[in-house]
Structure 1
Protein backbone atom coordinates (compact mmCIF):
# COMPACT_ATOMS: atom_id res chain seq x y z
CA UNK A 1 0.00 0.00 0.00
CA UNK A 2 1.27 3.46 -0.82
CA UNK A 3 2.32 5.34 2.27
CA UNK A 4 1.16 8.95 2.42
CA UNK A 5 2.51 11.39 5.02
CA UNK A 6 0.85 11.42 8.41
CA UNK A 7 -1.34 14.34 9.51
CA UNK A 8 -2.41 15.06 5.95
CA UNK A 9 -5.23 17.36 5.03
CA UNK A 10 -8.46 15.78 3.89
CA UNK A 11 -12.09 16.29 2.97
CA UNK A 12 -14.10 15.71 6.16
CA UNK A 13 -16.35 12.67 6.15
CA UNK A 14 -18.51 13.69 9.12
CA UNK A 15 -19.85 16.77 10.89
CA UNK A 16 -17.39 19.56 11.68
CA UNK A 17 -18.27 22.03 14.45
CA UNK A 18 -18.40 25.61 13.18
CA UNK A 19 -16.39 28.01 15.38
CA UNK A 20 -18.53 30.75 16.91
CA UNK A 21 -16.56 33.51 15.25
CA UNK A 22 -17.08 31.90 11.85
CA UNK A 23 -20.82 31.76 12.51
CA UNK A 24 -20.80 35.47 13.28
CA UNK A 25 -18.79 36.32 10.17
CA UNK A 26 -21.21 34.42 7.94
CA UNK A 27 -24.43 35.64 9.50
CA UNK A 28 -25.35 32.25 10.91
CA UNK A 29 -25.89 30.78 7.45
CA UNK A 30 -25.52 27.05 6.91
CA UNK A 31 -21.93 26.25 6.03
CA UNK A 32 -20.47 23.20 4.31
CA UNK A 33 -17.16 21.91 5.74
CA UNK A 34 -14.89 21.09 2.84
CA UNK A 35 -11.39 20.73 4.29
CA UNK A 36 -9.52 19.92 7.50
CA UNK A 37 -5.76 20.23 7.37
CA UNK A 38 -3.18 18.31 9.37
CA UNK A 39 -2.80 21.16 11.89
CA UNK A 40 -6.52 21.52 12.55
CA UNK A 41 -7.26 24.43 10.23
CA UNK A 42 -10.79 24.40 8.81
CA UNK A 43 -12.32 25.55 5.54
CA UNK A 44 -16.05 26.04 5.00
CA UNK A 45 -18.07 26.92 1.92
CA UNK A 46 -20.61 29.71 2.41
CA UNK A 47 -23.23 29.70 -0.34
CA UNK A 48 -24.14 33.32 0.41
CA UNK A 49 -27.55 34.81 0.84
CA UNK A 50 -29.46 38.10 1.03
CA UNK A 51 -27.02 40.97 1.11
CA UNK A 52 -24.18 38.55 0.30
CA UNK A 53 -24.89 37.24 -3.16
CA UNK A 54 -21.45 35.79 -3.84
CA UNK A 55 -20.50 32.39 -2.55
CA UNK A 56 -17.24 32.33 -0.61
CA UNK A 57 -14.82 30.15 1.30
CA UNK A 58 -13.96 30.77 4.93
CA UNK A 59 -10.69 29.51 6.38
CA UNK A 60 -10.32 29.37 10.14
CA UNK A 61 -7.28 28.69 12.33
CA UNK A 62 -7.54 28.52 16.11
CA UNK A 63 -5.26 30.78 18.14
CA UNK A 64 -1.93 29.19 19.00
CA UNK A 65 -1.26 27.69 15.57
CA UNK A 66 1.72 29.73 14.35
CA UNK A 67 2.36 27.35 11.46
CA UNK A 68 -0.76 28.71 9.73
CA UNK A 69 -0.61 32.48 9.24
CA UNK A 70 -3.73 33.58 7.39
CA UNK A 71 -2.67 37.23 7.34
CA UNK A 72 0.46 36.22 5.45
CA UNK A 73 -1.63 34.09 3.10
CA UNK A 74 -3.88 37.07 2.42
CA UNK A 75 -0.81 39.16 1.59
CA UNK A 76 0.47 36.56 -0.83
CA UNK A 77 -2.90 36.08 -2.49
CA UNK A 78 -3.27 39.81 -2.98
CA UNK A 79 0.20 40.14 -4.47
CA UNK A 80 -0.16 37.12 -6.77
CA UNK A 81 -3.58 38.23 -8.00
CA UNK A 82 -2.23 41.70 -8.75
CA UNK A 83 0.46 40.07 -10.90
CA UNK A 84 -2.12 38.19 -12.96
CA UNK A 85 -2.11 34.79 -11.24
CA UNK A 86 -5.32 32.77 -11.24
CA UNK A 87 -6.05 32.85 -7.50
CA UNK A 88 -9.12 33.78 -5.43
CA UNK A 89 -9.98 37.34 -4.49
CA UNK A 90 -9.57 38.09 -0.80
CA UNK A 91 -12.80 39.48 0.63
CA UNK A 92 -11.67 39.90 4.22
CA UNK A 93 -9.31 38.58 6.85
CA UNK A 94 -8.68 39.22 10.52
CA UNK A 95 -7.98 37.76 13.92
CA UNK A 96 -9.14 37.88 17.54
CA UNK A 97 -8.34 36.03 20.76
CA UNK A 98 -10.04 32.86 19.47
CA UNK A 99 -8.32 32.58 16.11
CA UNK A 100 -7.88 34.02 12.64
CA UNK A 101 -9.89 33.89 9.44
CA UNK A 102 -9.59 34.44 5.72
CA UNK A 103 -12.58 34.80 3.41
CA UNK A 104 -12.14 34.48 -0.36
CA UNK A 105 -14.60 34.69 -3.24
CA UNK A 106 -15.61 31.30 -4.61
CA UNK A 107 -14.47 30.35 -8.12
CA UNK A 108 -16.33 28.28 -10.70
CA UNK A 109 -13.96 25.36 -10.39
CA UNK A 110 -13.38 22.22 -8.31
CA UNK A 111 -10.37 20.84 -6.46
CA UNK A 112 -8.33 18.16 -8.20
CA UNK A 113 -9.27 15.80 -5.36
CA UNK A 114 -13.01 16.11 -5.83
CA UNK A 115 -14.55 12.70 -6.68
CA UNK A 116 -14.86 13.37 -10.42
CA UNK A 117 -11.11 14.05 -10.67
CA UNK A 118 -10.07 11.26 -8.33
CA UNK A 119 -11.79 9.05 -10.92
CA UNK A 120 -9.76 10.71 -13.70
CA UNK A 121 -6.21 10.74 -12.33
CA UNK A 122 -4.50 11.27 -15.69
CA UNK A 123 -6.54 14.39 -16.37
CA UNK A 124 -5.90 15.72 -12.87
CA UNK A 125 -2.16 15.05 -13.05
CA UNK A 126 -1.69 16.84 -16.36
CA UNK A 127 -3.80 19.79 -15.21
CA UNK A 128 -1.75 20.14 -12.02
CA UNK A 129 1.46 20.23 -14.02
CA UNK A 130 0.02 22.68 -16.53
CA UNK A 131 -1.21 24.90 -13.71
CA UNK A 132 2.21 25.05 -12.10
CA UNK A 133 3.76 26.04 -15.43
CA UNK A 134 1.25 28.88 -15.76
CA UNK A 135 1.98 30.07 -12.22
CA UNK A 136 5.75 29.87 -12.63
CA UNK A 137 5.66 31.68 -15.97
CA UNK A 138 3.28 34.40 -14.73
CA UNK A 139 4.73 35.63 -11.45
CA UNK A 140 7.80 37.89 -11.64
CA UNK A 141 10.70 36.57 -9.58
CA UNK A 142 12.51 39.92 -9.38
CA UNK A 143 9.44 41.64 -7.94
CA UNK A 144 8.42 38.95 -5.47
CA UNK A 145 8.74 40.06 -1.82
CA UNK A 146 8.42 36.52 -0.47
CA UNK A 147 11.01 33.76 -0.07
CA UNK A 148 10.62 29.98 0.20
CA UNK A 149 14.30 29.20 0.17
CA UNK A 150 16.24 26.22 1.44
CA UNK A 151 18.04 27.84 4.43
CA UNK A 152 14.83 28.85 6.20
CA UNK A 153 13.33 25.43 5.60
CA UNK A 154 16.41 23.72 7.04
CA UNK A 155 16.01 25.96 10.10
CA UNK A 156 12.50 24.54 10.47
CA UNK A 157 13.98 21.04 10.36
CA UNK A 158 16.41 21.98 13.15
CA UNK A 159 13.57 23.42 15.21
CA UNK A 160 11.62 20.18 14.83
CA UNK A 161 14.61 18.12 15.94
CA UNK A 162 15.23 20.44 18.89
CA UNK A 163 11.61 20.01 19.96
CA UNK A 164 12.11 16.26 20.25
CA UNK A 165 11.08 14.99 16.82
CA UNK A 166 12.91 11.83 15.75
CA UNK A 167 13.29 9.87 12.50
CA UNK A 168 10.36 7.73 13.60
CA UNK A 169 8.14 10.76 12.97
CA UNK A 170 9.26 11.13 9.36
CA UNK A 171 7.89 9.64 6.15
CA UNK A 172 8.58 5.93 5.80
CA UNK A 173 11.13 6.61 3.07
CA UNK A 174 13.35 8.49 5.54
CA UNK A 175 12.91 6.64 8.82
CA UNK A 176 16.14 4.71 8.34
CA UNK A 177 18.11 7.98 8.34
CA UNK A 178 19.82 9.29 11.42
CA UNK A 179 19.36 12.97 12.21
CA UNK A 180 22.98 13.52 11.17
CA UNK A 181 22.42 11.78 7.83
CA UNK A 182 19.26 13.77 7.18
CA UNK A 183 21.09 16.98 8.04
CA UNK A 184 23.94 16.12 5.68
CA UNK A 185 21.54 15.43 2.82
CA UNK A 186 19.58 18.61 3.42
CA UNK A 187 22.76 20.68 3.26
CA UNK A 188 23.79 18.96 0.02
CA UNK A 189 21.25 20.75 -2.16
CA UNK A 190 21.42 20.54 -5.96
CA UNK A 191 22.07 23.74 -7.86
CA UNK A 192 18.85 25.55 -8.78
CA UNK A 193 17.38 24.57 -12.12
CA UNK A 194 15.22 27.68 -12.51
CA UNK A 195 14.19 30.11 -9.80
CA UNK A 196 10.48 30.91 -9.93
CA UNK A 197 7.78 32.14 -7.59
CA UNK A 198 6.66 28.80 -6.19
CA UNK A 199 3.21 27.97 -4.90
CA UNK A 200 4.73 26.57 -1.71
CA UNK A 201 2.08 23.88 -1.18
CA UNK A 202 1.53 22.44 -4.63
CA UNK A 203 -0.30 19.33 -3.41
CA UNK A 204 -3.18 18.14 -5.59
CA UNK A 205 -6.01 19.63 -3.47
CA UNK A 206 -4.68 23.15 -4.09
CA UNK A 207 -5.18 23.06 -7.85
CA UNK A 208 -8.69 23.84 -9.12
CA UNK A 209 -9.96 22.43 -12.41
CA UNK A 210 -12.78 23.66 -14.64
CA UNK A 211 -15.62 21.43 -15.83
CA UNK A 212 -13.52 20.17 -18.75
CA UNK A 213 -10.61 19.20 -16.54
CA UNK A 214 -8.35 22.10 -17.42
CA UNK A 215 -6.37 24.12 -14.89
CA UNK A 216 -8.49 26.95 -13.51
CA UNK A 217 -6.82 28.39 -10.40
CA UNK A 218 -4.63 27.84 -7.36
CA UNK A 219 -5.60 28.14 -3.69
CA UNK A 220 -3.78 27.96 -0.33
CA UNK A 221 -0.78 30.12 -1.14
CA UNK A 222 0.37 30.70 2.43
CA UNK A 223 3.96 29.64 1.65
CA UNK A 224 4.27 31.26 -1.79
CA UNK A 225 7.78 32.51 -2.45
CA UNK A 226 10.89 32.34 -4.59
CA UNK A 227 12.53 28.92 -4.89
CA UNK A 228 13.67 26.42 -7.47
CA UNK A 229 10.73 25.19 -9.55
CA UNK A 230 11.45 21.60 -8.46
CA UNK A 231 10.44 22.53 -4.92
CA UNK A 232 6.89 22.67 -6.31
CA UNK A 233 7.13 20.00 -9.00
CA UNK A 234 8.56 17.26 -6.80
CA UNK A 235 5.78 17.64 -4.24
CA UNK A 236 2.98 18.05 -6.78
CA UNK A 237 3.87 14.74 -8.41
CA UNK A 238 4.29 13.05 -5.00
CA UNK A 239 0.86 14.29 -4.03
CA UNK A 240 -0.71 12.62 -7.05
CA UNK A 241 0.49 9.33 -5.56
CA UNK A 242 -1.08 10.14 -2.18
CA UNK A 243 -4.39 11.32 -3.57
CA UNK A 244 -4.96 9.46 -6.84
CA UNK A 245 -2.75 6.39 -6.55
CA UNK A 246 0.70 5.55 -7.92
CA UNK A 247 1.58 5.58 -11.60
CA UNK A 248 0.47 9.06 -12.64
CA UNK A 249 3.29 11.24 -11.29
CA UNK A 250 5.06 11.42 -14.65
CA UNK A 251 1.97 13.07 -16.12
CA UNK A 252 2.49 16.05 -13.81
CA UNK A 253 5.86 16.63 -15.46
CA UNK A 254 4.30 16.04 -18.87
CA UNK A 255 1.63 18.64 -18.16
CA UNK A 256 4.33 21.09 -17.08
CA UNK A 257 6.42 20.34 -20.16
CA UNK A 258 9.56 18.99 -18.51
CA UNK A 259 11.35 15.69 -18.04
CA UNK A 260 11.67 14.22 -14.57
CA UNK A 261 14.83 15.20 -12.69
CA UNK A 262 15.46 12.36 -10.20
CA UNK A 263 18.15 14.19 -8.19
CA UNK A 264 16.05 17.32 -7.60
CA UNK A 265 12.89 15.30 -7.02
CA UNK A 266 14.61 13.26 -4.30
CA UNK A 267 16.07 16.33 -2.63
CA UNK A 268 12.90 18.43 -2.56
CA UNK A 269 10.76 15.57 -1.31
CA UNK A 270 13.16 15.08 1.57
CA UNK A 271 13.12 18.84 2.28
CA UNK A 272 9.32 18.84 2.14
CA UNK A 273 8.94 16.06 4.66
CA UNK A 274 11.65 17.18 7.08
CA UNK A 275 11.56 20.97 6.65
Structure 2
Protein backbone atom coordinates (compact mmCIF):
# COMPACT_ATOMS: atom_id res chain seq x y z
CA UNK A 1 0.00 0.00 0.00
CA UNK A 2 1.27 3.43 -0.97
CA UNK A 3 0.61 6.69 0.85
CA UNK A 4 -1.78 9.11 -0.77
CA UNK A 5 -5.32 10.49 -0.80
CA UNK A 6 -7.87 7.77 -0.06
CA UNK A 7 -10.83 7.16 -2.38
CA UNK A 8 -13.84 9.44 -1.86
CA UNK A 9 -15.88 6.43 -0.68
CA UNK A 10 -13.34 5.49 1.99
CA UNK A 11 -15.25 3.85 4.87
CA UNK A 12 -15.23 5.95 8.03
CA UNK A 13 -14.29 4.02 11.19
CA UNK A 14 -16.94 4.02 13.88
CA UNK A 15 -14.83 5.97 16.35
CA UNK A 16 -14.34 8.73 13.76
CA UNK A 17 -18.12 8.88 13.29
CA UNK A 18 -18.52 9.19 17.04
CA UNK A 19 -15.98 12.01 17.29
CA UNK A 20 -17.57 13.83 14.35
CA UNK A 21 -21.04 13.60 15.97
CA UNK A 22 -22.80 14.26 12.67
CA UNK A 23 -20.45 16.98 11.46
CA UNK A 24 -19.20 16.86 7.84
CA UNK A 25 -16.28 14.43 7.62
CA UNK A 26 -13.86 14.07 4.71
CA UNK A 27 -11.07 11.49 4.18
CA UNK A 28 -7.75 13.29 3.66
CA UNK A 29 -4.88 10.78 3.65
CA UNK A 30 -4.04 7.09 3.86
CA UNK A 31 -0.51 6.03 4.77
CA UNK A 32 1.39 2.90 3.77
CA UNK A 33 0.50 1.18 7.06
CA UNK A 34 -3.24 1.61 6.64
CA UNK A 35 -3.58 4.66 8.87
CA UNK A 36 -6.23 7.20 7.87
CA UNK A 37 -6.64 10.93 8.43
CA UNK A 38 -10.02 12.66 8.29
CA UNK A 39 -11.01 16.32 8.39
CA UNK A 40 -14.08 17.25 10.43
CA UNK A 41 -15.75 20.60 9.76
CA UNK A 42 -16.57 22.37 13.04
CA UNK A 43 -18.38 25.64 12.39
CA UNK A 44 -15.85 27.92 10.75
CA UNK A 45 -12.98 25.73 11.93
CA UNK A 46 -11.84 22.16 11.50
CA UNK A 47 -10.59 19.20 13.46
CA UNK A 48 -8.38 16.39 12.25
CA UNK A 49 -8.58 12.80 13.43
CA UNK A 50 -5.96 10.17 12.76
CA UNK A 51 -7.05 6.55 12.97
CA UNK A 52 -4.77 3.49 12.91
CA UNK A 53 -5.78 -0.18 12.65
CA UNK A 54 -4.75 -2.28 15.66
CA UNK A 55 -2.07 -4.25 13.81
CA UNK A 56 -0.45 -1.29 12.01
CA UNK A 57 2.33 -0.60 14.49
CA UNK A 58 1.43 3.10 14.43
CA UNK A 59 1.77 4.70 17.89
CA UNK A 60 -0.64 7.60 17.97
CA UNK A 61 -0.28 7.74 21.74
CA UNK A 62 3.37 8.69 21.24
CA UNK A 63 2.40 11.52 18.92
CA UNK A 64 -0.21 12.76 21.40
CA UNK A 65 2.41 12.83 24.14
CA UNK A 66 4.80 14.84 21.99
CA UNK A 67 2.13 17.29 20.88
CA UNK A 68 1.06 17.96 24.45
CA UNK A 69 4.65 18.80 25.34
CA UNK A 70 5.48 20.83 22.22
CA UNK A 71 2.31 22.93 22.09
CA UNK A 72 3.62 25.05 24.98
CA UNK A 73 6.44 26.32 22.78
CA UNK A 74 5.61 25.83 19.11
CA UNK A 75 2.87 26.04 16.49
CA UNK A 76 1.57 22.47 16.58
CA UNK A 77 -1.99 21.09 16.77
CA UNK A 78 -3.58 20.99 20.25
CA UNK A 79 -4.73 17.52 21.27
CA UNK A 80 -8.49 17.26 21.86
CA UNK A 81 -8.86 13.51 22.38
CA UNK A 82 -7.02 10.22 21.99
CA UNK A 83 -7.66 6.60 22.74
CA UNK A 84 -7.58 2.99 21.61
CA UNK A 85 -9.82 -0.05 21.62
CA UNK A 86 -9.99 -3.39 19.84
CA UNK A 87 -10.88 -1.66 16.55
CA UNK A 88 -7.85 0.66 16.47
CA UNK A 89 -6.40 3.85 17.93
CA UNK A 90 -7.18 7.50 17.29
CA UNK A 91 -5.89 11.01 17.81
CA UNK A 92 -8.12 14.06 17.50
CA UNK A 93 -6.51 17.50 17.17
CA UNK A 94 -7.69 21.02 16.56
CA UNK A 95 -6.83 22.45 13.16
CA UNK A 96 -4.18 25.10 12.58
CA UNK A 97 -4.54 27.90 10.03
CA UNK A 98 -2.90 27.42 6.68
CA UNK A 99 -2.54 24.59 4.18
CA UNK A 100 0.20 21.99 3.60
CA UNK A 101 3.22 23.18 1.67
CA UNK A 102 2.41 20.72 -1.11
CA UNK A 103 -0.97 22.05 -2.21
CA UNK A 104 -1.08 23.23 -5.82
CA UNK A 105 -0.64 26.88 -4.86
CA UNK A 106 2.78 26.31 -3.32
CA UNK A 107 3.87 23.78 -5.91
CA UNK A 108 3.37 26.60 -8.39
CA UNK A 109 5.40 28.94 -6.15
CA UNK A 110 8.17 26.72 -4.79
CA UNK A 111 10.40 29.61 -3.73
CA UNK A 112 7.79 30.76 -1.24
CA UNK A 113 7.08 27.22 -0.12
CA UNK A 114 10.72 26.30 0.41
CA UNK A 115 11.39 29.52 2.32
CA UNK A 116 8.41 28.92 4.62
CA UNK A 117 9.58 25.38 5.35
CA UNK A 118 13.07 26.62 6.22
CA UNK A 119 11.78 29.45 8.39
CA UNK A 120 9.43 27.07 10.15
CA UNK A 121 12.16 24.59 11.00
CA UNK A 122 14.37 27.36 12.34
CA UNK A 123 11.54 28.60 14.54
CA UNK A 124 10.87 25.09 15.83
CA UNK A 125 14.55 24.40 16.52
CA UNK A 126 15.01 27.72 18.30
CA UNK A 127 11.90 27.51 20.47
CA UNK A 128 11.74 23.91 21.67
CA UNK A 129 13.95 23.57 24.78
CA UNK A 130 16.46 20.74 24.44
CA UNK A 131 17.15 20.55 28.18
CA UNK A 132 13.46 20.02 28.99
CA UNK A 133 12.62 17.63 26.15
CA UNK A 134 11.85 14.09 27.34
CA UNK A 135 11.99 12.62 23.84
CA UNK A 136 14.99 11.47 21.83
CA UNK A 137 15.64 11.01 18.12
CA UNK A 138 19.36 10.50 18.48
CA UNK A 139 21.36 8.89 15.74
CA UNK A 140 22.65 6.12 18.01
CA UNK A 141 19.14 4.82 18.69
CA UNK A 142 18.11 5.07 15.06
CA UNK A 143 21.25 3.31 13.88
CA UNK A 144 20.68 0.51 16.38
CA UNK A 145 17.21 -0.08 14.90
CA UNK A 146 18.64 -0.14 11.38
CA UNK A 147 21.23 -2.71 12.43
CA UNK A 148 18.54 -4.89 14.00
CA UNK A 149 16.56 -4.72 10.78
CA UNK A 150 19.66 -5.72 8.81
CA UNK A 151 20.33 -8.66 11.13
CA UNK A 152 16.75 -9.82 10.68
CA UNK A 153 17.02 -9.59 6.89
CA UNK A 154 14.48 -6.77 6.63
CA UNK A 155 16.64 -4.30 4.66
CA UNK A 156 16.02 -4.44 0.92
CA UNK A 157 18.03 -2.04 -1.28
CA UNK A 158 15.37 -2.39 -3.96
CA UNK A 159 13.19 -0.09 -1.83
CA UNK A 160 15.90 2.53 -1.30
CA UNK A 161 16.36 5.78 -3.16
CA UNK A 162 18.48 5.48 -6.33
CA UNK A 163 21.18 7.48 -4.56
CA UNK A 164 21.63 4.56 -2.15
CA UNK A 165 20.36 1.38 -3.78
CA UNK A 166 23.69 0.49 -5.42
CA UNK A 167 25.47 0.51 -2.07
CA UNK A 168 23.97 -2.72 -0.82
CA UNK A 169 23.37 -3.43 2.84
CA UNK A 170 26.97 -3.98 3.96
CA UNK A 171 28.36 -0.79 2.39
CA UNK A 172 25.42 1.27 3.58
CA UNK A 173 25.91 0.08 7.16
CA UNK A 174 29.61 0.81 6.91
CA UNK A 175 28.89 4.38 5.86
CA UNK A 176 26.42 4.83 8.69
CA UNK A 177 29.00 3.62 11.20
CA UNK A 178 30.93 6.85 10.57
CA UNK A 179 28.59 9.15 12.50
CA UNK A 180 29.28 12.86 11.97
CA UNK A 181 29.89 15.05 14.99
CA UNK A 182 26.87 16.98 16.21
CA UNK A 183 26.61 20.43 14.66
CA UNK A 184 23.82 21.78 16.86
CA UNK A 185 21.61 19.73 19.15
CA UNK A 186 17.93 20.75 18.85
CA UNK A 187 14.49 19.24 19.26
CA UNK A 188 13.82 17.97 15.76
CA UNK A 189 10.44 17.70 14.07
CA UNK A 190 11.24 14.08 13.20
CA UNK A 191 9.30 13.92 9.93
CA UNK A 192 10.22 17.21 8.22
CA UNK A 193 8.98 16.37 4.72
CA UNK A 194 7.24 19.26 2.98
CA UNK A 195 3.63 18.07 3.55
CA UNK A 196 4.13 18.45 7.30
CA UNK A 197 4.66 22.22 7.14
CA UNK A 198 1.58 24.44 6.98
CA UNK A 199 1.69 27.81 5.19
CA UNK A 200 -0.65 30.80 5.53
CA UNK A 201 -2.34 32.27 2.43
CA UNK A 202 0.25 35.06 2.33
CA UNK A 203 3.14 32.59 2.25
CA UNK A 204 4.30 32.52 5.87
CA UNK A 205 4.99 29.52 8.06
CA UNK A 206 1.85 28.54 10.01
CA UNK A 207 2.73 25.37 11.90
CA UNK A 208 3.89 21.76 11.90
CA UNK A 209 1.91 18.52 11.87
CA UNK A 210 2.82 14.82 12.19
CA UNK A 211 5.23 14.98 15.12
CA UNK A 212 5.21 11.34 16.15
CA UNK A 213 9.02 11.14 15.97
CA UNK A 214 9.79 14.53 17.54
CA UNK A 215 12.92 14.38 19.69
CA UNK A 216 16.40 15.65 20.45
CA UNK A 217 18.91 15.23 17.62
CA UNK A 218 21.39 17.13 15.47
CA UNK A 219 19.53 19.74 13.44
CA UNK A 220 20.81 18.13 10.23
CA UNK A 221 18.63 15.10 10.91
CA UNK A 222 15.73 17.42 10.04
CA UNK A 223 17.45 19.64 7.48
CA UNK A 224 18.79 16.78 5.37
CA UNK A 225 15.34 15.26 4.93
CA UNK A 226 13.49 18.56 4.58
CA UNK A 227 15.72 19.62 1.69
CA UNK A 228 15.51 16.15 0.15
CA UNK A 229 11.72 16.19 0.21
CA UNK A 230 11.73 19.31 -1.95
CA UNK A 231 13.02 17.18 -4.83
CA UNK A 232 9.84 15.15 -5.16
CA UNK A 233 7.48 17.95 -4.17
CA UNK A 234 8.95 21.01 -5.95
CA UNK A 235 11.94 19.83 -7.98
CA UNK A 236 15.70 19.71 -7.36
CA UNK A 237 16.49 23.44 -7.39
CA UNK A 238 15.12 24.69 -4.07
CA UNK A 239 17.40 23.29 -1.36
CA UNK A 240 19.39 26.51 -1.17
CA UNK A 241 16.23 28.56 -0.66
CA UNK A 242 15.20 26.43 2.30
CA UNK A 243 18.65 26.54 3.90
CA UNK A 244 18.95 30.29 3.36
CA UNK A 245 15.58 30.85 5.04
CA UNK A 246 16.74 28.64 7.90
CA UNK A 247 20.01 30.57 8.10
CA UNK A 248 22.69 27.95 7.49
CA UNK A 249 25.14 26.99 4.76
CA UNK A 250 24.83 23.54 3.13
CA UNK A 251 26.71 20.73 4.86
CA UNK A 252 27.17 18.03 2.23
CA UNK A 253 28.56 15.36 4.56
CA UNK A 254 25.81 15.64 7.17
CA UNK A 255 23.14 15.87 4.48
CA UNK A 256 24.40 12.66 2.86
CA UNK A 257 24.62 10.85 6.18
CA UNK A 258 21.16 11.69 7.45
CA UNK A 259 19.49 10.98 4.11
CA UNK A 260 21.03 7.52 4.06
CA UNK A 261 19.93 6.87 7.64
CA UNK A 262 16.39 8.01 6.81
CA UNK A 263 16.28 5.78 3.74
CA UNK A 264 17.26 2.66 5.66
CA UNK A 265 14.84 3.12 8.54
Bucket of the pairwise TM-score, normalised by the shorter protein: over 0.9
1:156 shift after superposition? 2.2
Whether 2:127 is the aligned partner of 1:105: answer: no
Gaps of 5+ in 2: none
1:17 shift after superposition? 2.2
Whether 2:31 is the aligned partner of 1:37: answer: yes
1:110-121 matches, within 5 Å, as: 110-121=99-110
Whether 2:9 is the aligned partner of 1:18: answer: no
Please name the residue that 1:122 is paired with: 111
Q: Deviations over 1:153-184 (max 9, x none)?
A: 11221233214332222222111112111111
Q: Which of 15, 21, 29 is residue 27 of structure 1 equivalent to?
A: 21
- Residues 54, 127 of structure 1: alpha-carbon distance in 2 compared, 3 angstrom cutoff: closer
1:97-246 matches, within 5 Å, as: 97-161=86-150, 162-246=152-236
Give the TM-score normalised by the residue count of structure 2: 0.94
1:40 shift after superposition? 2.1
Q: Deviations over 1:2-52 (max 9, x none)?
A: xxxxx7643446442212221122124331122222222111110026xxx
Whether 2:60 is the aligned partner of 1:70: answer: yes
Give runs of ≥4 in structure 1 deviating > 6 Å: none
Please tell me the root mean square deviation across aligned C-alpha atoms, in Å: 1.6
Please name the residue that 1:266 is paired with: 256
Q: Deviations over 1:172-218 (max 9, x none)?
A: 21111121111111111110100000000000000001110100101
Please name the residue that 1:58 is paired with: 49
Q: Deviations over 1:212-269 (max 9, x none)?
A: 0100101110000000000000100111111112211211101101111000000000
Query: SS at 1:134's partner residue?
Result: helix
Whether 2:42 is the aligned partner of 1:48: answer: yes
For 2:241 and 2:2, the matched residues in 1 are separated by 23
- Residues 8, 240 of structure 1: alpha-carbon distance in 2 compared, 3 angstrom cutoff: farther
| Range moving further from structure 2, 195-204 or 237-246 | 237-246
Query: SS at 1:46's partner residue?
Result: strand
For 1:8 and 1:266, the matched residues in 2 are separated by 25
- Residues 164, 139 of structure 1: alpha-carbon distance in 2 compared, 3 angstrom cutoff: closer
